Amino acid sequence: MTELKIKHLALFIVFLLPSCKDKREKTKPVVEKISESVYASGIIKSKNQYQVFSTVNGLVKDILLREGDIVKNGDLLMVIQNETSGLNAENARLAAAFADINSNADKLNEFKLSIDLAGMKMRNDSMLAVRQRNLWSTSIGTLNDLEQRELAYKNASASYQSLLLRYNDLKRQLNLASEQSKRNLQISRSIEDDYQIKSRTDGRIYSILKEKGELVTPQSPVAVIGDSSEFFIELQVDEYDISKIKAGQRVLFSLDSYKGEVFEAEIYSIEPIMNERTRSFTVKAIFVTRPGVLYPFLTVEANIILNVKEKALTIPINYLIDGSYVLNENMDSLKVVTGLKDYEKVEIVSGISEGEVIVKPLK
């Protein structure tokens, strides 16, 4: 390369450097409103929303209600097929009917008749023995006659007492059998009820998760039920931000189903346990302003407002270097003290003034 070309190249670089410097973006701090917030995502849920589970295995025999139907507490939703349970319940009902104390009244009445007869015989033998003893005292009759009368009375008395004991024992046995059969019937009916899935609250059926003939297990839900009119927001907050969250804080949120609209809510509950899988906490918020139509599981993107300052000196956050420095027009690094931050701008507490020009750093 000739000496002349080298001089031309050096001169070109000298002119190029200021030109590149001048093309870098610049700005000035401005005084404006700024709010600091924590981002959270979540879903819409209805009040008292829960997943309905079966307590038994089986096949869906009947689905009695549809998605969208309004239900009352105790309404039958679904029937699980189980012939064995039905037969056991019928057997228990028959056994209870057979063992019922009223059904065995004839046995007790028969014993009562025998007891009455034995009592009459005992009293009669008692009178005969007394009469024979009186005769013997006047030297009428024989000692053998007296002994025979007294023996007959003792036998009649023993027979009477035996019948009383047997009667009371039979009555206890019948009562026990009746109570046991009734309890067995209750247990059988309870087991049979397990095959009838019912609503545990008033509300709306938002989802039926099984179809007729499909297998049901206690591990998989069969439906989703919740309140038909009251909803709340369930948000997931990162563990690094949860210490900043408090009840009463404002929440600004948006929904995919309401593009371009922003709604407001308020934090009312913070669950005090972390989800180990997602490393996040569940936070609940109640609506301040809400969309006209809501459904469970609509996705939510939200900002939980921590602090708001109406007049703050701010710069774009991408002008900040290492969180504490900015560049002036001479490309000097100036240390600044920052305050509130959002996703676009940061408050400058000290270090630069409102009219000072700063340069955007290269990435």
Q: Are residues 146 and 87 in the same domain?
A: yes
Write the secondary structure of 32-96 as one string of H (helix), E (strand) and C (coil).
EEEEEEEEEEEEEEECCCEEEECCCCEEEEEECCCCCCEECCCCEEEEEECHHHHHHHHHHHHHH
The candidate with the shortest Cα–Cα distance to 56, out of 187, 216, 220, 222, is 216
Q: Are 216 and 53 in contact (CB under 8 A)?
A: no
Phi then psi dihedrals of residue 170, to 5 deg? -65, -40
Within-domain flag for 57? yes
pLDDT for the residue 302: 93
Number of domain units in the chain? 3
pLDDT tens digits, residue range 116-151? 888 888 888 888 888 888 887 887 878 887 788 888
The predicted structure's pLDDT at residue 13: 41
Tell me the CATH number at 62.
2.40.50.100
Match 């007296």 to its residue by tokens: 146
pLDDT value of position 2 = 46
Q: In the prediction, which pLDDT does 98 show? A: 57
Residue 132: Cβ within 10 Å count: 21
Q: Is the whole model's pTM more than 0.95, yes or no?
A: no
Which residues on adjacent β-strands are paired with residue 235? 42, 283
Whether 43 and 123 map to the same domain: the answer is no
Q: 37 and 53 share a domain?
A: no
Low-confidence stretches of the chain (pLDDT < 50) are 1-20
Say what the alpha-carbon torsion angle 80, 82, 86, 91 is, to the nearest 10 degrees: -150
Domain containing residue 218: 49-80+195-228
Domain-located, residue 174: yes
Is 206 among the domain residues?
A: yes
The reported pLDDT for the residue numbered 102 is 62
pLDDT at 11: 39
In this structure, the answer to whether residues 108 and 171 fall within a common structural domain is: yes
Residues 107 and 219 occupy one common structural domain:
no
pLDDT score of 231: 92
Q: Are residues 342 and 242 in the same domain?
A: yes
Asked if 271 and 257 count as a contact pair (C-beta separation under 8 A), the reply is no
Q: How many helices (H) and strands (E) does the chain have?
A: 4, 20
